[in-house]
Amino acid sequence: MHLLGRLPTNSKKRFAFNEDKTRIRANQGHSIDIDLALEAKQPPEYLYHGTAVKSVGSIMNTGLEKQLRQHVHLSLDYDTALVVGKRHGNPQVFVVESGAMHRDGYKFYLSDNGVWLTDHVPTKYLKLD
């Protein structure tokens, strides 16, 4: 059976195919525990995380947690994080001091679709925009 005709649109590039398009995988892993085969990379000095205003209090208590996903997802730019936040309600964007985190030993990964990934962002590296 050929799967290409049955897949949903992939505008966010959440999925990738192998060269002959016989296999598909998630670029970020999401809630499925798979080896993404990503190498740790040095992030830019700042990354961004979009969420809903209703989540701000919890995030300020615990930091950004991966919850049921494999990683915390971070955006390279503010505008992308704002779009992500709007999907969850009234948006709020956090500035993540990813450069400082990296210098302190935290690992970052860059998915094939440009989303930065890490395991946790402690509150000391978060600033409300």
Query: What pTM was estimated for this model as a whole?
Result: 0.73
pLDDT band at 10 (very low <50, low <70, confident <90, very high): low
pLDDT of residue 67: 83
Among 116, 114, 112, which residue's Cα sits nearest to residue 17?
112
Give me the mean pLDDT over the 13-26 stretch: 58
Cα–chain-centroid distance for residue 93? 13
Contact 120/72 with Cβ under 8 angstroms?
yes
pLDDT of residue 18: 61
Domains, in order of start, for the chain: 47-128 (3.20.170.30)
pLDDT band at 112 (very low <50, low <70, confident <90, very high): confident
Contact 115/74 with Cβ under 8 angstroms?
yes
What secondary structure does DSSP assign to 78-113, as a single string?
Answer: HHHHHHHHHTTSSEEEEEE-HHHHHHTT---EE-TT
Cβ count within 10 A of residue 19:
6
* Residue of higher predicted confidence among 69 and 105: 105
Residues 77-87 pLDDT 10s: 999 999 999 99
* Residue of higher predicted confidence among 106 and 68: 106
pLDDT of residue 68: 78
Place of tokens 């966010």: 12
